Homo-oligomer: A and B are copies of this chain.
């Protein structure tokens, strides 16, 4: 009887092929197990929620309601909150106008809208190796052909980029890149690589999709020029308030040439009409207040401190058995184990010991580097970090001793 019902359902609902193509995100799967008692998780890309300015949100909510009234909860413009768009243009895109900004439900929706815009069955797209797994996931459902370029210490090697651009049998639809404190590698482009790579794509008339999600999270004071500033004509930029303010608000954006934004607005119209105005209002009132710069400084200092502490804990356990590079910003350590360690196996053993982090294989489309582990340091306490490093080292020792 149970079987009969199942078969009926299978006949009844006939999903499109894309349903099989969309991989379930590993981190989202991990999020489900992190509530297991005793589990310590370094798996998500979670900002430190103790830093969220929730009291200020509460004050803004009450204040905006009394000033703007029920219109804040009515249907509203698809492109989004005009003052927030002006603020984003002013801060991140000199010489761009608010018309060139489309507000989205976080940067994940920005990726989906751009995938819809660009990708046909079999379109060539170029991604970094490794790359953000949420991007790999959403691009996959549009069935592109993935090309990869290694993300080295200072970004992709321009000569390899040049080779790809000159030797692709068909035009690339775009190059998706995270030049600042990349997820998962924590690496950034050198200024020189930014300039050369931007120029190569410009010369070949191939658009760049620059994801700036971690750009504000620099442990130093200076942030190098963005690809979008270097080449606004051929670069589409994606941003988010998830890391600087709070991910649960789901407010991100796309900056693109105006003619493109016009088409993207129609897509967004069709997929959710518009994003909630009140969430955009909360973001706008906070980021445009005098409190925002202080808030950013606090986040940067906190994450630098947490990154340093993580380094010390890992160093104390592993000593010189693995190389350790501390990131200059962002949320991640990209831990490198000896070549013979398969982190898919290590990951499973870690889960048994009450430790979650993401195996490197999740971040590659084709041939994966199997000896990497992504470690999110921004949302753990000192005690958790210390204990986490200890558990990781114990599992590592155990696997080594089995070899």
Residues in chain A within 8 A of chain B (CB atoms): 5-6, 8-9, 11-19, 22-25, 28, 31, 44-47, 49-50, 52, 54-55, 57-58, 61-62, 65, 69-78, 105-106, 108-109, 112, 116-120, 123, 134, 137-138, 141-142, 171, 173, 205-207, 233-234, 242, 246-250, 257, 259-260, 263, 266-267, 269-279
Contacts and interface: CB of A to CB of B under 8 A. Distances in A.
**5 interchain residue pairs of minimum CB distance:** A73-B246, A73-B248, A49-B70, A138-B270, A105-B272
Given A12-B233, A205-B12, A248-B72, A269 B24 contact: yes
7 contacts: A16-B120, A19-B117, A55-B65, A61-B61, A105-B276, A106-B272, A108-B271
Number of copies: 2
A171 B118 CA distance: 30
A137 B270 contact: yes
A273 B108 contact: yes
Given A61-B62, A108-B273, A141-B267, 11 more contacts: A11-B205, A14-B171, A24-B266, A52-B73, A55-B65, A58-B61, A62-B62, A70-B246, A108-B270, A138-B271, A250-B272
Contact of A73 (B57, B105, B141): B57
A313 to B, nearest CB: 24
A142 B278 CA distance: 31
Contacts of A233: 5, 8-9, 12
B118 A16 contact: yes
A259 B9 contact: yes
A203 to B, nearest CB: 11
B54 A69 contact: yes
A224 to B, nearest CB: 24
A279 B383 CA distance: 33
Contacts of A24: 266, 269
A69 B5 CA distance: 43
A58 B67 CA distance: 13
A73 B249 CA distance: 6
A103 to B, nearest CB: 12
Contacts of A8: 205, 233
A22 to B, nearest CB: 5
A52 B234 CA distance: 44
Contacts of A31: 75, 77
A181 B270 CA distance: 22
Contacts of A266: 19, 22-25
B73 A54 contact: yes
Contacts of A260: 9, 13
Nearest to A44: B75
A267 to B, nearest CB: 6
